[in-house]
Amino acid sequence: MTMNLFNQFLSPTFLGLPLIAIALMAPCLLYPSPAPWWQSNRWMTLQNWFIGSFIKQTLSPINTKGHSWALLLATLMVFLITLNTLGLLPYTFTPTTQLSLNMAFAVPLWLATVIMGFRNSPTHALGHLLPEGTPTPLVPILIIIESISLLIRPLALGVRLTANLTAGHLLIQLVSSAAFSLLLSQTTAASLAVGLLLLLTILEIAVAMIQAYVFVLLLSLYLQENV
C-alpha cells in the first residue's frame, strides 16, 4: 500500500527516456504568444492583465534596480502555477513534487539575490548577519544563527513547495481509494467520500496557485533585502 501511494511521484519513462522534459514544456505550449496585430483575443487580454497585476503587486515595494527581475518572476509564477494545476489532472505527473527540481529553481535564484546584495552594498548585506545593538558576548552566536538562517532559505523554498503538493496528492489518492472501495458495500459512505474528494480537489487547486505565489513572493522579498 505504501509503495502504491508513492508510485505516483516517480518520474515516468518511455523506452527508458524520462518524460519529465515533456511535462516541463507543457506551459510553453499552452499559453498563446503575442499576436502581430493590435487587436488580440480575450484569452490574451486576460493573460496580459494577470501578468501585469502580478508584476505591479510584487515589484511595488522594490526600488527600480530590482525591476529588471520582472520578466523572470512573472515567467516563474506562470510556469509554477501551470505545472502545479496540470498535475491535478488524472494520469498526469507533477514535476514540482520532486525536491530536486524545486531546489534547482530555488538555489540559483536565491544565490543571485545574495550575490547582487554583496555586489551592490557589501556593508548592508553583511549587516543582516548582526543586528544593531547586539551585546558583545552574543556577537559570534548571532552571526552563526543568522548565517544558518540565510543558508537555509533555498531549502525552505524547495521543501515548502514539495511538501504541500505531495501532501495534497497523497490525501486525494487516499480519499479516492476509500470512495472506490466503499462504492459497492456502503453507498452512503462512498457518496460522502466523493463529496469530500470534490472539496479536496478544489482546495488543492487553490493550494497549487497559492504555493506558486508564495514561492515567487519570498524570492521577491529576498530580492528586496539585497537591492
pLDDT digits (tens, 9 = 90+) for 27-69: 777 776 666 665 567 777 787 888 888 888 888 888 887 888 8
**pLDDT tens-digit profile of 137-160?**
877 888 888 888 889 999 999 999
Residue 158's pLDDT is 92
For residue 23, the SS3 value is helix
* Mean pLDDT of the 197-205 span: 91
Q: What is the spatial distance between Cα 103 and Cα 22, in angstroms, rounded to a whole number? A: 19
Burial of 39 (0-12, 13-18, 19+ CB in 10 A): exposed
Confidence (pTM): 0.82
Nearest to 89 by CA among 178, 175, 23: 23
Between CA 75 and CA 71 the distance in angstroms is: 6
User: 3-class DSSP state for residue 10?
Assistant: coil
In the predicted model, is pLDDT for residue 1 greater than 50?
A: no
At 111 the pLDDT is 93
Confidence of residue 110 (pLDDT cuts 50, 70, 90): very high
The full DSSP string for 148-166 is HHHHTHHHHHHHHHHHHHH
- Of the ranges 4-18, 58-72, 99-113, 119-133, the best mean pLDDT one: 99-113
For the chain, the structural domain boundaries read: 42-226
**Res 109: pLDDT:** 93
Task: List Cα–Cα distances, 114 to 90, 137, 155, 182, 201, in angstroms.
Answer: 40, 27, 15, 53, 37
